[in-house]
């Protein structure tokens, strides 16, 4: 689902999260492990105020494991607890309640010293649309919950979902918006399938994707499509990127009359295979350059 974010929506989304913050002990900020920067809300620090926060890198099954490790180190260095999960299979999701407790260890220790039995940690998942919030909530809950209200402005009664005995989760996530003003962010979100193709032109997205793949995963690109071409040296030269898209199209039989390559078809193939993980595990943003 793609939400059109107008200033009014942003204000409402922000207010909804801030209302929920009063109910919770910690926020779980969910990012896409392939694009931890582009899947991040630009105002997240301001919105979450000083609520203890854990960063969860989702869709890590699709991301480059070495890059994911580097991101975890980076976020820990910045003082956040951080874990990478695959909510589609549940890998490492079970560690989230333990980390949540760790985040609150001082408060819990204080309560224990006063003889108070600490209650379960209350958490809210926040993230941009399509980052995997509903999937993660269902995984943590251990059952399928119809998650509605997944739009700013739609409210409904909130319920707590028990996650074992140590954690309780609000059943409606907090929806944040991405940094749309930056066109690179828009393209990276489109590449990973977080925003629909109707918004951006498919050939433009594939052009951008091919350029990123040439610069970061050239060998993978060559192997997957079996192309026998020289690696472009100047990625600012768009005809060089198009040359690679055409080579891919030719290899896959995307031809139109006159022997020319059908770029739209070839674009579709590049994007589909990349999103399906056919090019292996890819990360488009490195912690080292951030
Ligand atoms: P939401 O809008 O943030 O609630 O996102 P959803 O939970 O609806 O997930 C968006 C898409 O990402 C769905 O197609 C999910 O199946 C997929 N998805 C979510 N988490 C993961 C994950 O960890 N790994 C993979 N491969 N796909 C995921």
Each residue of 122-148: pLDDT tens digit? 999 999 999 999 999 999 999 887 665
Residue 222's Cα: distance from chain center in Å? Answer: 26
Report d(CA 177, CA 56) in Å as an integer.
17
- Tell me, in angstroms, the distance from the centre of ligand 1 to residue 32's CA: 9
Mean pLDDT value of segment 278-284: 96
Report d(CA 290, CA 285) in Å as an integer.
8
Domains of the chain: 7-175 (3.40.50.300), 201-289 (1.10.1580.10)
- Tell me, in angstroms, the distance from the centre of ligand 1 to residue 254's CA: 30
On whether 130 is known to bind a ligand per the annotation, the reply is yes
pLDDT digits (tens, 9 = 90+) for 105-117: 999 999 999 999 8
CA nearest neighbour of 62 among 83, 29, 39, 88 = 88
On whether 144 is known to bind a ligand per the annotation, the reply is no
Provide the ipTM. Answer: 0.99
pLDDT digits (tens, 9 = 90+) for 204-248: 999 999 999 999 999 999 999 999 999 999 999 999 999 999 999
Is 59 a pocket residue for ligand 1 (Cβ < 6 Å)? yes
Alpha helices in 78-126 (DSSP H): 96-103, 105-113
Q: At a CB cut-off of 8 Å and minimum separation 6, what does 74 contact? A: 287, 290
pLDDT digits (tens, 9 = 90+) for 27-82: 999 999 999 999 999 999 999 988 999 999 999 999 999 999 999 999 999 999 99
pLDDT digits (tens, 9 = 90+) for 188-215: 999 998 887 667 889 999 999 999 999 9
Is 38 a pocket residue for ligand 1 (Cβ < 6 Å)? no
């Amino acid at each position: 689902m793609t939400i059109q974010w107008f200033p009014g929506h942003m204000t409402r989304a922000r207010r909804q999260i801030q209302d929920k913050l009063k109910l919770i002990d910690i926020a779980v900020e969910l990012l896409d492990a392939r694009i931890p920067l582009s899947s991040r809300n630009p105002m997240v620090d301001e919105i979450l105020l000083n609520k203890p926060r854990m960063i969860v890198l989702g869709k890590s099954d699709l991301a480059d494991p070495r890059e994911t490790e580097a991101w975890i180190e980076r976020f820990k260095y910045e003082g956040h607890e951080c874990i990478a999960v695959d909510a589609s299979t549940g890998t490492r999701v079970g560690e989230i309640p333990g980390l949540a407790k760790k985040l609150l260890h001082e408060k819990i220790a204080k309560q224990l010293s006063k003889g108070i039995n600490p209650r379960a940690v209350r958490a809210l998942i926040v993230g941009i649309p399509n980052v995997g919030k509903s999937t993660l909530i269902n995984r943590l809950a251990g059952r399928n919950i119809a998650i509605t209200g997944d739009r700013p402005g739609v409210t409904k009664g909130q319920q707590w979902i028990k996650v074992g005995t140590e954690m309780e989760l609000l059943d409606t996530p907090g929806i944040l918006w991405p940094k749309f003003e930056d066109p690179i962010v828009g393209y990276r979100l489109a590449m990973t399938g977080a925003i629909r193709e109707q918004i951006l032109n498919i050939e433009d997205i594939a052009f951008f994707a091919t350029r990123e793949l040439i610069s970061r995963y050239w060998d993978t690109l060559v192997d997957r499509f079996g192309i026998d071409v020289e690696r472009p040296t100047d990625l600012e030269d768009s005809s060089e990127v198009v040359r690679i898209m055409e080579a891919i199209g030719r290899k896959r039989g995307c031809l139109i009359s006159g022997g020319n390559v059908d770029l739209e078809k070839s674009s579709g193939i590049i994007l589909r295979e990349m999103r399906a993980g056919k090019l292996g595990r890819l990360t488009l943003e490195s912690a080292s350059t951030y």
